[in-house]
Structure 1
Amino acid sequence: MTHGTLNSTAALVTEYPWPKLAGLKVLDLACGSGRNGFWFLAQGCEVTFIDQDLSAMASLKHDKAQLWQWNLEDGSAPPLPIEAFDIVLVFNYLHRPLFSQIAASIKPNGLIVYETFTWQQAEIGHPRNPDFLLMEHELQSVFANWQSLHYFEGRLSDPVSGAQSLKAQLIARKPSQ
């Protein structure tokens, strides 16, 4: 992947037909450079960025942005707030013990936007550790009682670099209760 690719907003975000977004509360979980959260910030959303290393975003000064430097895997982070977010973004990150916290952090009728690598990725590149790779239809299973608005599982090609990856994508709406 090129540096530009790493800093560009994911196609899943830019190509989805979003309703009015201004004023919504968004969590960009394991945000890295914040590329996807920045897109929502530009749409007028309030965005909380969480990552164990926020140094790439140290210069961010925006009244609708919060930076939480949390290690989500070592037990030191507090639990995610309950029903606090309209949209939760998770890209290229998988820590299965967080699934229930992620679901609980989304408001009723809110959305999960999840894209990460499947088990097949190990056949063509990194990551290879099964702890970081979804099993077949795993995202559908985890969010089975949610309304699926978009689901894809298969090969993706980066439009800039041409790099291939095997991923699952899910956009789903949380039940109203």
Structure 2
Amino acid sequence: MDEKRLRAEAALLLTQSSQLLGLDSHPLVLDLACGTGRNGRWLAAHGAQVTFIDRDLGRLAALPPQCRALALDLETGEAKLPKAQAEKAQYDIVLVFNYLHRPLFEAIKESIKPGGLIVYETFIARQAEVGRPKNPNFLLTDGELLQRFSSWETLHAFEGDVGCEDTPCFKAQYIGRKPAK
């Protein structure tokens, strides 16, 4: 897949923040609830080693050789990432887009290396006024990502209308760096 198409498919938050991501160092990336893998694929095209996790990998096409995919329902049992794939402080970057399962926040934090990044973008409560999702379990409250990562260095934070295909789309965006220790 060519760079232009990959860039078009990847989230703007990711492509517009590429200078923050340290792609020169071939980071280890975890793409949680990856769906089609559009964001992880974009990072893989820039040399990242990506682990894609989703409960259904049917929408994920063939992966580059430095990548792997794991079928895993993140919401069953205890909210833990699999030990072999998300040992504490294993990943340089964790991506979460359009997904919210609050019991995973601590496991996500633990899976990121000191100095590593979280890139998170998902829907906020105001989205229910204009479309889906409507279930409050899948909608962040005002300032929730900032609160969840309050001890981290905030590199980017935004809440509001990001516009999705010419319609209002209300999301929170957060890029944060884990403290060095």
Structure-2-length-normalised TM-score: 0.88
Distance 1:11 1:61, change over 3 A: closer
1:97 maps to which of 103, 106, 125: 103
Q: Between Structure 1 and Structure 2, which shows a larger proportion of helix residues?
A: 2
Q: Which amino acid aligns with 1:48?
A: T
Structural mapping, 1:120-131, within 5 Å: 120-131=126-137
Structure 1 position 168 matched with structure 2 position 181:
no
Q: Which amino acid aligns with 2:94?
A: V
2:31 maps to which of 19, 28, 31: 28
What is the rounded CA distance, in whole Å, between the counterparts of 1:20 and 1:107 in structure 2?
14
1:70 maps to which of 63, 72, 84: 72
Structure 1 unaligned regions, length at least 5: none
Moved over 3 A (4+): none
Distance 1:90 1:61, change over 3 A: closer
| Cα drift, residue 66 of structure 1 | 0.9
Aligned residue-pair number: 169
The alignment partner of 2:175 has SS state of strand
The alignment partner of 1:49 has SS state of strand
What is the rounded CA distance, in whole Å, between the counterparts of 1:78 and 1:48 in structure 2?
12
| Cα drift, residue 163 of structure 1 | 2.5
Structure-1-length-normalised TM-score: 0.90
The alignment partner of 2:75 has SS state of coil
Identity, in percent, stands at 49
Q: How much is the aligned-residue C-alpha RMSD, in angstroms?
A: 1.7
Structure 2 unaligned regions, length at least 5: none
What is the rounded CA distance, in whole Å, between the counterparts of 1:19 and 1:55 in structure 2?
28
